[in-house]
Amino acid sequence: MLPDYADHSVFDAEMIKDHLDVSIQNLDQLDLDFNYVDKPQEACGVFGVIAAEGDVAKLVYFGLYALQHRGQESAGITVYDAQGITHTHKAMGLVAQVFNETILSEMKGALAIGHNRYSTTGSSKVCNAQPIVVSTRLGDFSLAHNGNLVNATELRGELSAQGHALESTTDSEGIAFAVGEAVEEGKDWQEAIITALHRCEGAFSLVMAIPNAIVGARDPHGVRPLVIGKTPDGAYVLSSETCGLDIISAEYIREVAPGELVILSIENGIQSVSWQTPKPKLCVFEMIYFARPDSVMHDESLYTYRLRIGRELAKESFVDADIVIGVPDSGIPAAIGFSRESGIPYGEALIKNRYVGRTFIQPTQAMRESGIRMKLNTLKDVLQGKRVIVIDDSIVRGTTSRKIVRALREAGAIEVHMRISSPPVTHPCFYGIDTDSQDHLIAAQKSVEAIAEQIEVDTLAYLTHDAMLRATNMDTTHFCTACFTGTYPIEVPDKLKRTKLMLENTAP
Ligand code: SF4
């Protein structure tokens, strides 16, 4: 039986609390260190609902719950009441920790937006949680952002120079203040938002709200996803991924196009404005790993795409073995695809403890070292005496891979062949994914053979760049693949590049 993919982002707050001897209540005071997490981290999930009547905070809660995998650091909801007054609740922690029945029942109103955060700019503090609300002469403007601006420093500097008192350290606050400023200059909502968007460079999928509408926008490259849906009773929905629509039984209408602004209201339905010429460059890592496998992009589930890249991997780097296994969760569809193409039986031998979602809150290095065993356990009777092909979606530092390989051997595997369903990650991301700096990326430093030696596998192979793109069945120029190639589709200022790229790769 296949694992329950839909369940892969579900965390049980009480069990986490029981399991880890750290007070989650004090999360906002902890200086959280995420760097040891050996995977690129998704940056944020955004969600919004507008209904004709009733209270929608609970719908937003469930939407954020479905998008929990996109950010586990803080969560927040802003609701507009019948008078257009905003009420915001946001805090550090998972959606299920931040909200309860009482809080949600006090959030009255038929218009609300929400946000799950994983910080890529700004530190891990509650002041950086979203939505961000700015008061204007036309009423409150609120914003939830997924992505990263590459000109955040410049934008924040300009706004500070103009006298705005920025409270957080995020790039997102700059966008909200830029909208507020344009409104105060006399522009209407649509003009003000478009004016602000033209000041932004980088990756941004935004869910915004004004007193009578929710507003979605994507940068011209559409690096991060954003979709529109409608519930059976006529409420409009914006969500980072379609899994956020499914959980509230909303029908998928379409994606917000790169360079498009949509204004969703009960009176006028969906109004669309093309605010910038589209130059599509969807993050290919959304397809490989970040987005949920049950989310749909380009008319098919990502599960189906991941099966296909597994097949491509088998064609490119077949090796004889007794069993193919996947590293849960995102390596599993590719493992099934590899198995189907190669004829080598698929099996499950790594079992994930679904209730340990936050090993990063362990306070000591020693506890961190043991983190992988808290998350994954091996099935000895499946692995004993077997030649094993293990499929994972990526290798960042290589530390987790080595632990997995050692665990497989300890459980009795006699050969371990690792296959990776993406090309080597050689460059950091500046568009809203938290990757290590380049000097920590193992593939930026070592050959495939040297990596194989370091992670102690018998053989190692990665999917080629061509196969990764071919398997999308899309125009292959419509993807950002910069972390595999170093070719950044949106220019990254040298100053920002120097924060993550090795110095010899950047101009002085
Ligand atoms: S650099 Fe990599 S992770 Fe970042 S947007 Fe491009 S493909 Fe995605």
Domains recognised in the chain with CATH numbers: 5-26+43-280 (3.60.20.10), 300-505 (3.40.50.2020)
The residue whose CA has the least distance to atom 2 of ligand 1 is 483
Judge whether residue 4 has pLDDT over 90. no
Judge whether residue 13 has pLDDT over 70. no
pLDDT for 498 = 86
For residues 119-139, average pLDDT: 81
Most informative mutation of 221, 285, 469 for ligand 1 (most atoms within 8 A of CB): 285
Selected residue with higher pLDDT from 436 and 303 = 303
Most informative mutation of 426, 433, 485, 487 for ligand 1 (most atoms within 8 A of CB): 433
Catalytic residues: 44
Most informative mutation of 396, 422, 469, 480 for ligand 1 (most atoms within 8 A of CB): 480
Q: State the closest ligand 1 atom to the C-alpha of 430, by its place in the atom list counted from 1.
A: 4
CA of 273 to the centre of ligand 1 (A): 26
pLDDT for 167 = 79
Q: State the closest ligand 1 atom to the C-alpha of 286, by its place in the atom list counted from 1.
A: 8
Q: State the closest ligand 1 atom to the C-alpha of 428, by its place in the atom list counted from 1.
A: 1
CA of 79 to the centre of ligand 1 (A): 32
pLDDT for 17 = 31
For residues 468-496, average pLDDT: 95
pLDDT for 32 = 25
| 82-86, 167-171, 364-368, 417-421: range with lowest mean pLDDT | 364-368
- pLDDT digit string (tens) for 385-425? 999 999 999 998 888 899 899 999 999 999 999 999 999 99
- pLDDT digit string (tens) for 351-398? 987 655 544 444 355 555 555 555 788 999 999 999 999 999 999 888
Please choose, from the candidates 222, 285, 224, the residue with its C-alpha nearest in 3D space to the C-alpha of residue 258: 222
| 16-20, 183-187, 235-239, 471-475: range with lowest mean pLDDT | 16-20
pLDDT for 30 = 24
Residue 358 CA: distances (Å) to CA of 41, 128, 224, 332:
12, 19, 24, 21
Please choose, from the candidates 50, 53, 52, 80, the residue with its C-alpha nearest in 3D space to the C-alpha of residue 63: 50
**In which band, very low, low, confident or very high, does the pLDDT at 436 lie, cut at 50, 70 and 90?**
confident
pLDDT for 2 = 28
Q: What residues are in contact with ligand 1 under a 6 Å CB criterion?
A: 40, 223, 283-285, 429, 431, 433, 480-483
Asked if residues 85 and 61 have their Cβ atoms less than 8 Å apart, the reply is: no
Residue 462 host element (H or E): strand 459-462
Residue 183 host element (H or E): helix 171-184
Structure tokens that stand for 479 in this block: 């993807």
CA of 258 to the centre of ligand 1 (A): 16
Rounded-to-integer distance, Cα 388 and Cα 403, Å: 15
